[in-house]
């Protein structure tokens, strides 16, 4: 049986439409959600990502404020810019595009972002709230997108056995925390996990966020499992995920493709987070 393909582009389009409705409703109350984008230096890939994020904002009516300091900016000057944006009432979300040039210490700079403006969910304050299962946490966009896809696919998470592959701050840890909060039984795997195949085979849902093509093969997946592939790997064959897509799709009940699965959701969830941040700041 071939798997149902979970179409991230379609779900992301529905999310954007929902956000546009919320922005219009907030506008009637005099609130215009605003996102500040900070792009340090001239990394071409980062420039493309930021441009796309600003276009997404424009499409749903979120105002964006762009800052592009030179790549040689000093740590204290970038810290001062973050303080300015924290104090600016038009700015509800601050997106500091990563990676930063080598002279800048992101572990010192990210915590300076006001937690209610932290639309990437990367401050220790939001990570702590998420770890405590507190609903007011702003959650990183990719993990939030994974949850939205699972919800859209009608996956019953309560009591389900879920294997999360990867334990980064950006993806693996927050996705595991969200799944736990949704009452899943989570097995959190990483590069030292013994017998990853056995863990995956026992799981109803597999979320792969590793960054290595072919990590999840068909023999590792139960018949009827749901497979979410977060991996984004550039190869000679183009963009591929962590999952051996065709053979796994033969066994799984539902699967996300790469591209067109989790990727579009990451962009859409930034818009959701910006509106959430505006609501938090206005008590709306
Ligand atoms: P990362 O920081 O490099 O983390 C990779 C994780 O995978 C680590 O926890 C590592 O374990 C684990 N790992 C490595 N080899 C493994 C193995 N053989 N078995 C099980 N776990 C293994 O990467 P990341 O930032 O989380 O990103 C993961 C992937 O998602 C990348 O391909 C990235 O491009 C992609 N991504 C996609 C989106 C999107 O929008 N679609 C967004 C963000 C990231 P250790 O901790 O033990 O080293």
Over the stretch 26-85, which tens digit does the pLDDT of each residue have?
Answer: 999 999 999 999 999 999 999 999 999 999 999 999 999 999 999 999 999 999 999 999
Phi, psi of 79 (to 5 degrees): -60, -40
* Lookup: tokens for 71: 């790549």
Closest CA to 273 of 100, 151, 130, 161: 130
Please count the other Cβ atoms lying within 10 Å of the Cβ belonging to residue 279: 16
8 Å CB contact between 86 and 114:
yes
Residue in 49, 170, 211 to alter for ligand 1 test, most ligand atoms within 8 A of Cβ: 211
Tokens coding 12? 């992301």
Per-residue tokens: 31: 């609130």
97 is an active site residue: yes
Is any ligand 1 atom within 6 A of the Cβ of residue 192? yes
56 is catalytic: no
| pTM of the predicted structure, to 2 decimals | 0.97
9 catalytic per annotation: no
Cβ atoms 141, 12 nearer than 8 A? no
Ligand 1 geometric centre to CA of 188 (Å):
12
How many angstroms separate the alpha carbon of residue 17 from the centre of ligand 1? 30
In the chain, the N- to C-terminal Cα span, in Å, equals 47
Atom of ligand 1 nearest to the CA of 258: 41
Mean local confidence (pLDDT), 235-251: 97
| pLDDT-based confidence at residue 2 (cuts at 50, 70, 90) | confident
Residues 77, 169, 270, 95: what is their CA dihedral angle, to the nearest 10 degrees? 0
């Amino acid at each position: 049986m071939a798997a149902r393909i979970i179409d991230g582009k379609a779900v992301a389009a529905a999310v954007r439409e929902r956000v546009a409705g919320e922005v219009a409703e907030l506008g009637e109350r005099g609130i215009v959600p605003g996102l500040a984008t900070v792009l340090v230096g001239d990394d071409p890939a980062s420039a493309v990502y930021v441009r796309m994020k600003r276009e997404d904002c424009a499409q749903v009516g979120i105002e964006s404020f762009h800052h592009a300091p030179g790549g040689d900016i000093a740590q204290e000057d970038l810290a001062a810019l973050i303080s300015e944006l924290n104090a600016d009432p038009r700015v509800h979300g601050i997106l500091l595009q990563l990676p930063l040039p080598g002279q800048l210490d992101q572990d010192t700079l990210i915590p300076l972002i006001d937690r209610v403006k932290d639309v990437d969910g990367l401050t220790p304050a939001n990570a702590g709230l998420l770890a405590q299962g507190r609903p007011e946490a702003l959650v990183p966009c990719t993990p939030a997108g994974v949850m939205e896809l699972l919800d859209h696919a009608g996956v019953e998470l309560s009591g389900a056995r879920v294997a999360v592959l990867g334990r980064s701050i950006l993806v693996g840890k927050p996705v595991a925390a969200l799944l736990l909060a949704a009452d899943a039984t989570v097995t959190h795997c990483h590069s030292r996990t013994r017998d990853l195949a056995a863990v995956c085979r026992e799981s109803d849902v597999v979320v792969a966020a590793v960054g290595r093509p072919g990590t999840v093969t068909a023999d590792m997946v139960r018949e009827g499992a749901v497979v979410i592939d977060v991996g984004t790997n550039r190869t000679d064959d183009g963009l591929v995920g962590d999952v051996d897509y065709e053979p796994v799709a033969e066994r799984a009940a539902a699967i996300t493709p790469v591209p067109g699965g989790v990727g579009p959701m990451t962009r859409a969830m930034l818009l959701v987070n910006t509106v959430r941040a505006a609501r938090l700041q206005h008590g709306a």
